[in-house]
Amino acid sequence: MNRSGYRPDKPATIKDVAKALNISISTVSRALRNKPDVNQETRQSVLRMVEELEYQPNQIALSLITQKTHTIGVIIPNLDYFFSMAVRGIDDMALETGYTVMICQSNESYARELVNTQRLMKGHVDGLIVSNSSDSINTEQYQRLLSKNFPIVFFDRVSSELDATSVVLDNISGATQAVTHLIEQGCRRIAYLAGPANLSISQQRMIGYKHTLEKYGLAIDESLIVFSEFDREFAYRSTLALIDSPNRPDAIFGVSDRLIVGAQLAIKERGLRIPEDIALVGFNDEPVVSLLTPPISSVAQSAFEMGRMAAKLLVEQLNSEHILPSQTIMLKPTLIKRASSIRKP
């Protein structure tokens, strides 16, 4: 038995905390829920005693009182490098702010994304962080939730149809940096492996690609633009078709590193040189691209920071006594230049 009278052979209760401090159980409860009517000195005393007695609040009972589970639902297309790093950022912020994260993968399927949303809602998550699947065909499920002021933050892949808080990359700037660099290296027929046509990131990087060609007086050749899933094998076959065309490209810009790796395999199979015959620039700057031969240039973005920021914005919504207006945070990318695109003078 310690100085508070608590017996260590039994789990501490909220009553033990209250008795040790000679305050009411309701005061302890309000202090643990960070209620404004509890002064800071009392709250700190409660927290110190909770630590001393190793008291673990009954989360089920607490959720019945507060109508909150302190759980965040996360829906992502897959757990590739980018999204796994984003989840790390989300989890990092959640840990700091006292939330638990539940992660679901849509595997690029709208139907699965819909099921995941429904399951997380049945699990009574306090809010959602979402990056849409590549075949998301409508936003009705999110429209309904947002209309009820349910907290949702979207990141990376977002829909322009939704008035919701989001964290995105300046994709136009990233594509502009990539294509400008290729033009400065002397490339004139630049192909674009664009990814799914309906995705916001594909569309925005397309804008940067086309605007940069126009800026430098280069014609936009639609035959050099290839839409596809995020599939390396598809990128490999598409690149073979581009190489075997009558007027092959002298550079390829990819919407993701996964596609540009497929392109590199096709170029090597045809016995062409990188970057002398065809230069390459990808997007995401995944660790693997720096290990290839030659190392591949790529537009870098901080997936960790994007995930962390998304979680921060969601927690702000969850802890606010008022409905916060939607906002968009745009992060800046940086082109990392490597041997796959740097041609000798």
Angle between helices 303-319 and 81-97 (to 10 degrees): 40
Quote the pTM value: 0.81
Q: Write out the two tokens for 29.
A: 């409860």
Domains and CATH numbers, the chain: 14-65 (1.10.260.40), 69-168+303-331 (3.40.50.2300), 171-301 (3.40.50.2300)
- The pLDDT of residue 267: 98
- The pLDDT of residue 40: 87
The torsion angle over the Cα atoms of residues 48, 54, 55 and 56, rounded to 10 degrees, is 120
- The pLDDT of residue 58: 60
**Rg of the chain taking only CA atoms, in angstroms:** 26
CB 70 within 8 A of CB 124: no
CB 260 within 8 A of CB 296: yes
**Could you list the mean pLDDT of each consecutive 10-residue stretch along the chain, which spans 345 residues?**
52 84 87 80 87 70 60 96 97 92 95 95 94 89 95 95 96 98 98 94 97 97 94 95 96 97 97 98 96 97 97 95 95 98 91
SS in 3 state form for 270-326? Answer: CCCCCCCCCEEEEEECCHHHHCCCCCCEEEECCHHHHHHHHHHHHHHHHHCCCCCCC
**CA–CA gap between residue 213 and residue 13 (Å, rounded):** 68
Q: Write out the two tokens for 281.
A: 């620039």
- The pLDDT of residue 1: 42
- The pLDDT of residue 61: 52
- The pLDDT of residue 67: 60
